[in-house]
Amino acid sequence: MQIAVASGKGGTGKTTIATSLALSAEVSTQYLDCDVEEPNGHIFLKPEITHSEICTVTIPELDEKKCTACGKCRDICRYNAIAQFGETVMIFPELCHSCLGCFRVCEEDALIEATREIGVLESGIASGLDFVHGRARIGEAMTVPLLKAVKQKADPEKLVIVDSPPGTSCSFVETINNADYVILVTEPTPFGLYDLKLAVEVMQNFEIPGGVIINRSDLGDDRVQKFCAEAGLPVLMEIPFERRIAESYARGKNLIETVPELRAAFNDVLTALMSQTA
């Protein structure tokens, strides 16, 4: 089973919940950190990295001797990665989405397949868990291919906890795609509710079942609970605010280490979800 842990905004405690679920599972589990722009699951899981590989994407490189400046590659590119000024064709690798459409329309074979590094894929072991995360190259805008590379490491024989990037952009969509269940982490504030609604709307377009975990549940009001009831979303768990949790988080300690009694509650959530999809 693959469970994606996501949130409509940053700062709700998504990674805290994702790592806690992974550590609490009583079955063979894998943790995938798909927040490749700023992965921080490793801070709490402290994995021993045993494998590292460079992740690249295919980009076009111009063979000026063959190019006739017909403009077909420029016309097909929807990302403005290819520009033409008179007889001069220019390629901007950072804008290329690697759709390879330009190669298909070039009748002169004037484009050569080249590669561009977008980040690093690392894997290892953390507290008995299989651990995988991606680290995007600094300044890299094209992170979805690296995110896909992380997801390709998913072990179909294990319970897979996928830590999603915050927000509802392309990275979020790619992360929840093919998930069996989505856990949305939110907080009982106006901002938390607004972004929860956005995430729910995207999730429902994919017809993926999901539920909500409310973090710092005693600091706001009950509008999140009312919305969940109206939307038919189960509230899987509520975690009240505790100063010791915030203090230990600042020191890089995971939630289960700080509040061991929550381990059973997280495992109960996982057991219930796995029984639903069995």
The stretch 180-206 carries a mean pLDDT of: 92
* pLDDT band at 9; cut points 50, 70, 90: confident
The stretch 41-48 carries a mean pLDDT of: 95
Which fold does the domain 2-46+127-277 belong to in CATH? Rossmann fold (3.40.50)
CATH 3.40.190.290 fits 58-117, yes or no: no
Q: Where in the chain is the domain with CATH 3.30.70.20?
A: 58-117
* pLDDT band at 269; cut points 50, 70, 90: very high
Model-level pTM? Answer: 0.91
The stretch 75-87 carries a mean pLDDT of: 95
pLDDT in tens, 16-41: 999 999 999 999 999 999 999 999 99
Tokens of 76: 């097909």
In sequence order, what E strands does the chain have? 2-6, 29-33, 48-62, 82-85, 88-91, 111-126, 129-136, 159-163, 181-186, 210-215, 235-239
Q: What DSSP designation does 36 have?
A: T
pLDDT in tens, 142-166: 899 999 999 999 999 999 999 999 8
pLDDT value, residue 46:
94
- Cβ-in-10-Å burial (0-12, 13-18, 19+) of 32 comes to buried
User: Residue 278: pLDDT above 80?
Assistant: no
User: Residue 176: pLDDT above 80?
Assistant: yes
Q: Where in the chain is the domain with CATH 3.40.50.300?
A: 2-46+127-277
User: Residue 277: pLDDT above 70?
Assistant: no
Q: How many CA atoms lie within 13 A of 178 on its CB side?
A: 10
User: Residue 141: pLDDT above 90?
Assistant: no
pLDDT value, residue 44:
94
> Average per-residue pLDDT in the chain?
93
pLDDT value, residue 218:
87
pLDDT in tens, 48-61: 999 999 999 999 99
